[in-house]
Amino acid sequence: MIVQHELTVHKPASSGPDPAVLGKMLQLIYGRFAGQTVCLAAKLGIADHVAAGLTTTHDLAAVLDANPSSLRRFLRALASYRILAEDTPDSWKLAPAGELLRQDVPGSLRDLARLFAAPEHVHTWLALEHSVLTGECAFDHVHGADGWSYAQEHPEFNKTFNAAMSSIAGSVHQAIARIYDFAGIDLLVDVGGGHGRLMAHILARFPKMRGIVYDMPHVVNGAETYLAGLGLGDRCQAMAGDFFKSVPAGADAYIMTAILHDWDDDASALILRNCRKAIKPSGRVLIGDFVLKPSNEPDFGKAVDLEMLVMTPSGRERTESDFRRLLHRCDLRLKDILPLPSGNSILEAVPA
């Protein structure tokens, strides 16, 4: 009788995942913890309290009516994220990043972080799956109303949202006025210019320029008051209108920041075509938005694109190719892209 013996193959034991890849994946999975911690610090005003001299866990617990032991664990986590630093045992100071959570510093991100801590925003992002699978706005799905209607009926959220938009716009506006060369532009129109803050920065740098802030009627009243208070009333006009129908004609340049990313291509094309009709032959159209990098490249703008997906019915960030196609539809040509420190860019377009 022949006895057959099974051959045992000894496979090398798996060495497990690459430690660097494992660490990166864990960082991504746990990333929500860091975001919630930082945004709660903004909501509680931790940075403002520390800047005001309340530097010990005991002092902070007293002003926040917080459990000292739990608060210390929270502050320790903030120190690990380099928001705070423990100076002496149970005594804290602000790290450089923590300074940006103060209310009273240039470029403060406190109000943006407070928006991300708001229940309306948190619950919307928990419905990311709905937007990804259906293409529908998660905010509408969760709250039963679009963001603008909801804000009108919920004053506290409206206040939080508007403060956040002003917060992020402040640093962007300063960068645009500082980096882009507006020389040679006599008349500039800010399309959807809000209360005129961007225009004020630009006019301050270019004292011979004139401007028009163009927005909805209920907005431009605030712009007129704001600009007059800065002594710019004689150089800048606040004009009411609907940029889907027309824009003021005859300017040397038209600028719009964080406007096109609120709309799909058809709606954006309406705005751009109106600018194309109104512009001088030698004029330019300036667009302040994110320009998404190729898919495999790390890109903060892609996270903002998901924010537009869940928070708006049709908003989106675009790639360079997307912008070129959109501009071509409107008889405009992309001439240059100027990156800004905030991660977004100024796109310069001219008549084709």
Q: Cα(299)–Cα(294) distance, rounded to whole angstroms?
A: 9
Outline where DSSP puts E strands in the chain.
84-88, 91-94, 187-191, 210-215, 236-240, 253-257, 284-289, 291-292, 318-319, 332-339, 345-351
> Does residue 261 carry a catalytic annotation?
yes
Q: Cα(47)–Cα(57) distance, rounded to whole angstroms?
A: 13
Amino acid letter, residue 219: V
Q: Cα(138)–Cα(129) distance, rounded to whole angstroms?
A: 8
Q: Which of 5, 10, 261, 328 is the catalytic position?
A: 261
Q: How is the beta sheet containing 345-351 ordered, strand by strand? A: 236-240, 210-215, 187-191, 253-257, 284-289, 345-351, 332-339
User: What SS3 state is found at 184?
Assistant: coil
Q: Cα(58)–Cα(71) distance, rounded to whole angstroms?
A: 9
Which residues sit opposite 211 in a β-bridge?
188, 236
Tell which residue, 330, 350, 168, 147, has the closest CA to residue 254: 350
* Catalytic annotation, residues: 261
